[in-house]
Structure 1
Amino acid sequence: MPNKGSVDRSIMPIAEGMRFCGPAFTVRSRVTQKQVPQITGDEYTEWARNYWYKEVQIQPWDSELQQGDIVVLESPDAACGEIGSYNSLDMHTKGAAAVVTSGGARDRDECIAQGVPVFARWRNQAMTQGRVEYETYGVPVTIGNVQIKPGDIVVGDGDGVVAVPREHAELVAKYARQENENDKKGRAALYARLGWELDESTR
């Protein structure tokens, strides 16, 4: 599959060492026209808890997550972190192995401490209220100029994200494994010439 499947290099892990591989569970959000009302701080807390997160920025799909799913979120550039420490961990408790978004992520320190892989285009402090809202799930989405359908295989590491259509996954995996083994052997030989001990990347 030459020239296919490589997600734009702007979508990267929020920390070194994060990686994943699994089937895509696709979700799409959109820019919202709903505004944050002019209210007091206490009123805002109630508004966010009882309206925004129950009627607008909802996750009606999370009960359908299967163990090992990768949540792939097509998110607009709305200058906010749609993925944060709470919702990424909540998805993880329901089966998600990682989250990939074409939008922003927040709570980087907490996300790193939790260890759930998060891949995003931006890091933002702002939350979603008045910026983005849930649209749909279980449909083809576009992430980093690549179409990803439900069940496609997505792989992420320090080099970024690759998506493989489900119908080609077995063949692609065969040649990817072959390439990886050849690389390990070649690099192991160079390690030996240098007198280095083999590490995880060469065994």
Structure 2
Amino acid sequence: MSTTPETAAIEQVLTELSCTDVSDALDRLGINGQCLGIMPLDRSFRIVGQAWTLRYGPVGEDPGTVGDYIDELGPSQVVVLDNQGRLDATVWGDLLTSTASRNAVAGTVIDGVCRDVDRALSMQYPIYSRGNWMRTGKDRVRVEAVGAPVSIGGVRIEPGDWLLGDGDGIVNIPVARIHEVLAAAQEIRDAEEHIRQAVEAGKSLRQARADYGYHTLQTAR
């Protein structure tokens, strides 16, 4: 995946925002982008990048494969794996973590579970999932679609959508609406920073909130 000046600029802005900034912006704009139940293995992890998607399903008479894809991925890409929320079979482990880290992949997001968490933590490779368990997905899941829309925590994610993850979870921004979401998120962030500064200067929180319209920052407009 090649980085253009535009994508580099978007990535830079996202690195300066939090998931809460973006979440409130998504609410204001009527976009469902907060991925429920998908959390980082370590609260210090952060993800910024664009979605590369893969959807899994249960095996049938043809067991299929868990897929060989990681060698082709690189910087600014986020591996997004839809395993339908399954908790009984993993779709990510230490070999994928090691290769993704080597290739400077931005991180991995799973609607399901991962394993070999010690490797991810030691390499500081960001993984967001529903948890971890040791049982392999081989012979239990198979690739259903690559580069197709997926569902992660109740959110539709399309290839190329922008993802931001921090200690509060993961949010998805449709690529077609990235600029309006960023503008709203920056406005919300700045308003809350003004409120913090006002409180530190001695103003009451009630008055500082009123001065900067806190209670309607996320309200649909």
TM over 0.5: yes
1:70 matches 2:78: yes
Letter aligned with residue 167 of structure 1: A
Cα displacement string for residues 7-26 of structure 1 (whole angstroms, at most 9, x for unaligned residues): 11x11111111111211111
- Contact 2:74–2:100, Cα closer than 8 Å, also in 1: no
- Contact 1:34–1:130, Cα closer than 8 Å, also in 2: no
TM-score, with length taken from structure 2 = 0.70
1:163 matches 2:172: yes
Cα distance, 1:162 vs structure 2? 1.1
Who is 1:109 aligned against? Answer: 118
Cα distance, 1:188 vs structure 2? 3.8
Who is 1:136 aligned against? Answer: 145
Residue segments in structure 2 that go unaligned for 5+ positions in a row: 1-28, 203-221
- Contact 2:165–2:171, Cα closer than 8 Å, also in 1: yes
Who is 1:17 aligned against? Answer: 44
Alignment root-mean-square deviation, CA: 2.4
Quick one: distance in 1 between partners of 2:103 and 2:49? 15
1:88 matches 2:97: yes
TM-score, with length taken from structure 1 = 0.76
1:122 matches 2:122: no
Letter aligned with residue 179 of structure 1: I
Cα distance, 1:113 vs structure 2? 1.1
Closer/same/farther in 2, CA of residues 56 and 173 from structure 1, 3 Å limit: same
Residue 32 of structure 2: SS of its match in structure 1?
coil
Quick one: distance in 1 between partners of 2:192 and 2:98? 35
Residue 129 of structure 1: SS of its match in structure 2?
coil
Residue segments in structure 1 that go unaligned for 5+ positions in a row: 36-51, 194-203
Q: Aligned pair count?
A: 174
